[in-house]
Structure 1
Amino acid sequence: MKHWWPLIVLGTAQFLMVLDTSVMNVSISQLVEEFDTEVTAIQAVITLYALVMAAFMLIGGRLGDILGRRRLFVTGMVVYGIGSALTAAAPTLWVLALGWSVVEGLGAAMVLPAMAALVAESYRGKDRAVAYGVIGGLAGAGIAVGPLLGGWVTTYLTWRLVFAGEVVVVVLVLCFHRVIAEPAATGRRPRLDGVGATLSAAGLALGVLGVLQSSTWGWVQPRNPPFTVMGFAPTLFVVAAGVLVLVLFSHWERRREARGEDPLVHLALLGRPALRSGLLTLVSQNLILLGLFFTIPLYLQVVQGFNAFETGLRLLPVSVTMLVASTAASRLGRVAGPRRVVRLALLTLTASIVWLLATIDPVIDDGQFAGAMALLGIGMGLLASQLGNVVQSTAGEAERSEVGGLQFTAQNLGSALGTALIGSILIGALAHAFTAQVESDPRVSDEARQATGIALESGVSFVTTEQVTAAAQRAQLPPADVEAVTDSYATAQLNGLKAAILATGGITVAGLLVTSHLPAGRTGARKAPAGAVNPRPESAH
């Protein structure tokens, strides 16, 4: 048992890092009400959390090499605990964003790359594959248990208690951190590349910001932007600026390497096919998962009217099957090969999304919905069991933190894009469907169509049908028009949700295209020398 103590401590940290994202997702309605804001504002807060982690994860990975991985792990846990305390006490939305999205996000950006490296350094061979299976399972469990735990606390107490409880867990992790061995320093410690850090963070931030704001600004035709560019919405220009900054980052990093200086990340790492394929699959995995976990709670809470706890109960099958599948499938990967397991996972996810689409109706079928959620958990668990080990097994001992930074950058970039992109598709499809419904419904008068058009020009939000009814009554529409507009919005809600979920299905199928370089067949047959690069990912070193 003593052998697994480091995994217990590190796994607890991993669970904690992802728990509150799912708590936030299931508490959207309560947060909107408490802070007197809209769904899109909470979407922005959720996206910002993942974005801060993605933007600073490479920096966190490099700091692990500079300061020492266990020391950075401890420092990051302290920062994360401070952010949790600030979130628990947040009096306004801005303080919530500061405590949760920024401070906790920075803490996680220090903890996660160090954690990935410490797991790899603490275990070898089959134990390492098991350890990464457990870590993946705990990450999945955190995402899936969060709705149940957060839902109960939010419904019967307050969501703030979850973050207060996180402070207690952080203190416990800090009390037991010495069970994690501090890896011996090897060679000269690198220096931090400040310019590269700035460019990478700015490029990622601009790219995700553009996607996030697309629901408000519009993609091409301006909807409600703060400014326009040659008559077009600024969205694509902001995304393009992010891409340009990342290109500059790439040139800067290559220049530093050519001069013999320490880069923020050795871009040659991305030339390894297995690592590149693993990272792209991680982006896909988290884009799908966070996109669904933003969309599904909206369906359950806003459309079906369930409270946070009832929502959590309906997401419980994901938690159970994800944890079981991710733990059991680590052995399957050694026998069948990660490529086959990952492809099976993506096909399973596709089937679950098709099943889920069939359950999005005005009246929920709890049995069908539970089945779709259970299948979704199996697919996610299969993915989670493989990717951490595949990515870390491409690295030599000296590259653990750097590869860990890349690993969690990919993971959180996918999370940020999942919430931003799928949320944007949801709002865009809702607006389009609502407009079409109002135009085609013969019960709607010209006066009501005009009033609805004016309202849509100022932006549309995902709200309950009761709120739409109240808004139509405030506009002094006749009762027949109020009923027709409400029915049109209810239909548009379902169409918007289906469009968002269908988009995750498309991303899942596209994910199959990036799996070709994942290792195939039995793994663990060869032994890589310490500090060297493996020619292909292995479970045993």
Structure 2
Amino acid sequence: MNTESNVRTEAAASRASWAPLVGLFLAQVLMSYNVSALPVSLGGMVETFGVPPTDVSTAIVTYGLVVAALVMVGAKIGQRVGWVIVFRVVVAVFAASAVLMILAPSVGYVITAQALAGASAAIIVPSLVALIAENYHGRQQETAIGSLGSARALAGVSAFLIGGTLATLVGWRQVFVVVLVLAVAVFVLSFRLRGAPGNKVVKIDAVAAVLIGLGIVALTLGVNNLNSWGILSARDAAPFEILGLSPAPLLIVIGVVLVQLFFLWTRRRTRAGKVPLVSLSVFGSSRERAAVYAMFIVVGLEAALNFTIPLYIQIVQGRTPFDTSLAMLPFNLTVFFAAMVVVRFYRRFPPRTIGMFAFGLTTIALVWLAFVVTNNWETLPTILGLFVFGVGQGALVTLVFNVLVTASPKTLAGDVGSVRGTTQNLASAVGTAVAGALLVGILSFNVLSSLADHPELSPELVSQIDLDSVNFVSNDRLKTVLEEQTDASESQVDAAVALNEEARLSALKLGLLLLAGVSAIAIVPASRLPRFRPGEIPESVATGDATLPASPAPED
């Protein structure tokens, strides 16, 4: 009896304070709020800087691109310098980026600020996992890991509610004052963290860093500019051409080749007994690779939806950021609660079952939205679709992260964090870029193919409009352009507005169906997720199989 009492006393004494987790939780909120605040501020930036919405989306892409390109290097910097020290430094840099956003005189400064924020996040992302591993153990660690997923969702809710209100009533710049306040709070709370000192023996593999960095940059730039530079033939906006071909697909090919070279170089370095930029044991089995694929797809889908809804509400409908926050509220609240609640199901269902079910939900939701959506996002059927998508998305983000953490030893916590950061931010950048290119491409095709159905729009009038640069505009903006820059009659203006409305809605519906197809395909990698329950990051893993959890459940 005394022995049991002593065990309980020791267990209680070993429980760490939750104060450090508050700082780490807010650090995740800081990064996610910053990203979510950009779509909310889309309309305000377009009006302030006088640029098209695709230019502002470049800032979103830039943030994700920089994080994805540098996060593996960031993990090694943290190991070498020490996680706590480097964490404080980069949080301060993130605060500086918020100041630059608040004072930005042009969209170029916004892009620069997001590049700085991305470079900071490249170290914050792996540090969250490493510092959780150093500060918490057992069930506390499992709870701490799950909190990161709910933090992303909470940041989304906060960005669309607080950010939407500020952007509507005060201005979009004040949205980023919240980012500054969060950064200061995280910096102060970082003094409650404990961590091992840096290891000067850790070396940064410069060759691997260049290969993966350039590969991700090439991939993202290629995907992001498919529409503006041309999918095959080079357009006027392309910076250069190769035998008349667009550089966008060439960049994608170069990116894929560089990423493959990164893996080849890393395997060679590992065989030689040298420390790689990232341990490939994180991808050691089909289960871990399935988790990475699933994470990429679900984050990409989330980014595409987060770009699409503000685009339609603020640009197409010409409504306020607060309207955007209300439209996104069902989705973000659902993601928040799903990310927290899904942890309770780990004791009942294996990741494979949860993952396949969740991707089934996101697929059904996107198909449903494609059929019921109108230019008004506040209809009950649309809200229901967003609710179902949020349940699947919130469950998946937390689930796949836990799978990766469970499968790796504590010593690889930084590598797990860097893989998570690379995957999520590359997926976010690609998801935003693909959504923009896809919707604009479909819109352009719809406009051109629908001209025959509107005989009021004569070839002479069409020749006065630059159909090579079709983009999303509101009805009011289209009317203004036609009335001021063309000799269109009132009936022709009405016909053009009707055509534009039809083309936009058709582009939205087809885009959602294509996203549903991607979600359905994701059920395949989800079927390869493990059947054991997620748990603590193991202190050590048997040398015979470094990819298995400490106590896996037997395969069925």
TM > 0.5 between the two? yes
Corresponding residue number in structure 2 for 1:96: 110
2:455 to 434, 442, 447: 442
Query: Hey, what's the Cα distance between the residues in 1 that align with 2:265 and 2:537?
Result: 35
Aligned residue type for 1:394: A
Aligned pairs for 1:438-477 within 5 A = 438-452=451-465, 455-457=466-468, 459-473=469-483, 474-477=485-488
Tell me if the contact between 1:148 and 1:312 (Cα under 8 Å) persists in the aligned partners.
Answer: yes
Tell me if the contact between 2:352 and 2:530 (Cα under 8 Å) persists in the aligned partners.
Answer: yes
Aligned residue type for 1:51: L
Q: 1:49 Cα deviation (Å)?
A: 0.8
Corresponding residue number in structure 1 for 2:227: 215
Query: Hey, what's the Cα distance between the residues in 1 that align with 2:400 and 2:551?
Result: 11
Query: Hey, what's the Cα distance between the residues in 2 that align with 1:166 and 1:56?
Result: 22
Tell me if the contact between 2:126 and 2:418 (Cα under 8 Å) persists in the aligned partners.
Answer: yes
Extract unaligned runs of 5+ from structure 2: 1-14
1:9 to 19, 23, 26: 23
- TM-score between the two structures when normalised by the length of structure 2: 0.91
Tell me if the contact between 1:217 and 1:233 (Cα under 8 Å) persists in the aligned partners.
Answer: yes
Query: Hey, what's the Cα distance between the residues in 1 that align with 2:551 and 2:101?
Result: 39
Aligned residue type for 1:176: L
Q: 1:256 Cα deviation (Å)?
A: 2.8
Q: 1:366 Cα deviation (Å)?
A: 2.6
1:303 to 316, 320, 323: 316
Distance 1:397 1:50, change over 3 A: same
Aligned pairs for 1:124-523 within 5 A = 124-183=137-196, 189-224=201-236, 225-452=238-465, 455-457=466-468, 459-473=469-483, 474-522=485-533
Q: Is 1:85 equivalent to 2:99 in the alignment?
A: yes
Q: 1:308 Cα deviation (Å)?
A: 0.4
Corresponding residue number in structure 2 for 1:122: 135
Distance 1:420 1:363, change over 3 A: closer
Q: 1:9 Cα deviation (Å)?
A: 1.1
Distance 1:243 1:482, change over 3 A: same
Q: 1:431 Cα deviation (Å)?
A: 0.4
Q: 1:540 Cα deviation (Å)?
A: 9.5
Residue 522 of structure 2 aligns to a residue whose secondary structure is: helix
Deviation sequence 1:26-52 (CA, Å, 0-9, x none)? 221111110110111011111111111
Tell me if the contact between 1:130 and 1:327 (Cα under 8 Å) persists in the aligned partners.
Answer: no
Deviation sequence 1:324-372 (CA, Å, 0-9, x none)? 1111110202320112112221111112212322332244553222222
Residue 10 of structure 1 aligns to a residue whose secondary structure is: helix
Q: 1:89 Cα deviation (Å)?
A: 1.0
Deviates more, 1:356-365 or 1:13-22: 356-365
Query: Hey, what's the Cα distance between the residues in 2 that align with 1:75 and 1:539?
Result: 37
Residue 176 of structure 1 aligns to a residue whose secondary structure is: helix
Q: 1:420 Cα deviation (Å)?
A: 0.6
- TM-score between the two structures when normalised by the length of structure 1: 0.93
Distance 1:325 1:17, change over 3 A: same
Deviates more, 1:22-31 or 1:349-358: 349-358
Aligned residue type for 1:17: M
1:49 to 49, 63, 68: 63
Tell me if the contact between 1:423 and 1:500 (Cα under 8 Å) persists in the aligned partners.
Answer: no
Tell me if the contact between 1:83 and 1:104 (Cα under 8 Å) persists in the aligned partners.
Answer: yes
Query: Hey, what's the Cα distance between the residues in 2 that align with 1:349 and 1:507?
Result: 10
Distance 1:37 1:528, change over 3 A: closer
Query: Hey, what's the Cα distance between the residues in 2 that align with 1:107 and 1:499?
Result: 37
Q: 1:96 Cα deviation (Å)?
A: 1.0
Query: Hey, what's the Cα distance between the residues in 2 that align with 1:433 and 1:291?
Result: 20
Tell me if the contact between 1:426 and 1:497 (Cα under 8 Å) persists in the aligned partners.
Answer: yes
Residue 42 of structure 1 aligns to a residue whose secondary structure is: helix
Query: Hey, what's the Cα distance between the residues in 2 that align with 1:436 and 1:289?
Result: 30
Tell me if the contact between 1:425 and 1:499 (Cα under 8 Å) persists in the aligned partners.
Answer: no
Query: Hey, what's the Cα distance between the residues in 1 that align with 2:133 and 2:288?
Result: 15
Residue 487 of structure 2 aligns to a residue whose secondary structure is: coil
Distance 1:329 1:534, change over 3 A: farther
Query: Hey, what's the Cα distance between the residues in 2 that align with 1:527 and 1:324?
Result: 24
Corresponding residue number in structure 1 for 2:11: none
Q: 1:462 Cα deviation (Å)?
A: 1.2
Tell me if the contact between 1:52 and 1:105 (Cα under 8 Å) persists in the aligned partners.
Answer: yes
Tell me if the contact between 1:422 and 1:504 (Cα under 8 Å) persists in the aligned partners.
Answer: no
Q: 1:153 Cα deviation (Å)?
A: 0.6
Deviates more, 1:17-26 or 1:129-138: 129-138
Aligned residue type for 2:188: C
Query: Hey, what's the Cα distance between the residues in 1 that align with 2:239 and 2:85?
Result: 43
Q: Is 1:38 equivalent to 2:38 in the alignment?
A: no
Query: What's the Cα RMSD here?
Result: 2.2
Query: Hey, what's the Cα distance between the residues in 1 that align with 2:167 and 2:551?
Result: 41
Deviates more, 1:116-125 or 1:74-83: 116-125
Q: 1:269 Cα deviation (Å)?
A: 3.2
In the alignment of these two chains, the number of paired residues is 535
Query: Hey, what's the Cα distance between the residues in 1 that align with 2:244 and 2:322?
Result: 46
Residue 530 of structure 2 aligns to a residue whose secondary structure is: coil
Query: Hey, what's the Cα distance between the residues in 1 that align with 2:314 and 2:550?
Result: 44
Residue 3 of structure 1 aligns to a residue whose secondary structure is: coil
Residue 451 of structure 1 aligns to a residue whose secondary structure is: coil
Corresponding residue number in structure 1 for 2:36: 22
Query: Hey, what's the Cα distance between the residues in 2 that align with 1:12 and 1:527?
Result: 22
Aligned residue type for 1:43: S
Q: 1:105 Cα deviation (Å)?
A: 0.5
Corresponding residue number in structure 1 for 2:6: none
Q: 1:521 Cα deviation (Å)?
A: 4.9
Query: Hey, what's the Cα distance between the residues in 1 that align with 2:433 and 2:147?
Result: 29
Tell me if the contact between 2:293 and 2:525 (Cα under 8 Å) persists in the aligned partners.
Answer: yes
Q: 1:229 Cα deviation (Å)?
A: 1.9
Tell me if the contact between 2:154 and 2:336 (Cα under 8 Å) persists in the aligned partners.
Answer: yes
